[in-house]
Copies of this chain bind each other. A is one copy, B any other.
Amino acid sequence: MTNPAKTPETAPAHERVYRVLRHRIMHGELPPGNALTLRGIGTVFGVSMTPAREAVRRLVAEGALTLSASGRVSTPEIGNERIEELAAIRALLEPELASRALPRAYPALIDRLGSINSSVDQMVVKQDASGYIRANLEFHRTLYLRAQAPAMLAMIETVWLQLGPTMRQLYSRMQNSGRLGHHRAILAALKTGDEAALVLAVRQDVTQGLRMLAA
């Protein structure tokens, strides 16, 4: 599977529920506005309402789910102004993370990024939207992990989470775009150690993809 034994099997029920829901939301497997119920979640995961409630509460706190006035939960439907904001946050934090990762970007890491990037290309030709989102985020996360900045990484992941449900819509109108070049520019800048070029490439990769959502 895509989740290689990341859950120790002995984890509490509420965390198993949280992890699965978070994974599905971040990768766009739930459309915006999708309604969820505590009893429904509990039934699906074979647990009672209690752990389902805690998982939902956590996801709401991270902005992955929205809470209506009556307490009902659903995936958020975000407007253009919020997309622009989240894109701006990405444009501010991700270049910084890339810049911090640069001094430790050894060839082994660059090779791994290259193979992940080819996996991204595969997802594009396979028309696998969720697979594309997953591979694309893995590319970024693999790079940023080298920055040794867990707080920043956690923060940017919550941004990805908030964009998750909307990401899938982005995918359809992203088909024939000169998007793939940015990852290659990132790899090139990593190889040459050019920090300015790296920061620029990351910022462009982040902003361009999200700019077309405002259309």
Chain A positions within 8 Å of B, measured between CB atoms, are: 12, 50, 53-54, 57-63, 71, 82, 85-86, 88-89, 92-93, 96, 149-152, 154-155, 158-159, 162
Contact = CB atoms under 8 A, between A and B. Distances in A.
Contacts of A93: 89, 92
A151 B53 contact: no
Contacts of A96: 88, 92
A12 B70 CA distance: 10
29 contacts: A12-B71, A50-B50, A53-B54, A54-B54, A54-B57, A57-B57, A57-B58, A57-B61, A58-B58, A58-B61, A59-B61, A61-B61, A61-B62, A63-B154, A82-B150, A85-B151, A85-B152, A86-B151, A88-B149, A88-B152, A89-B93, A89-B151, A89-B152, A89-B155, A92-B93, A151-B162, A155-B155, A155-B158, A155-B159
A50 B38 CA distance: 15
Nearest to A60: B58
A155 B82 CA distance: 13
Point out which of A62, A150, A155 has the most chain B C-beta atoms below 10 A from its C-beta.
A155
A149 B58 contact: no
Nearest to A153: B85
Contacts of A152: 85, 88-89
A147 to B, nearest CB: 9
A57 to B, nearest CB: 5
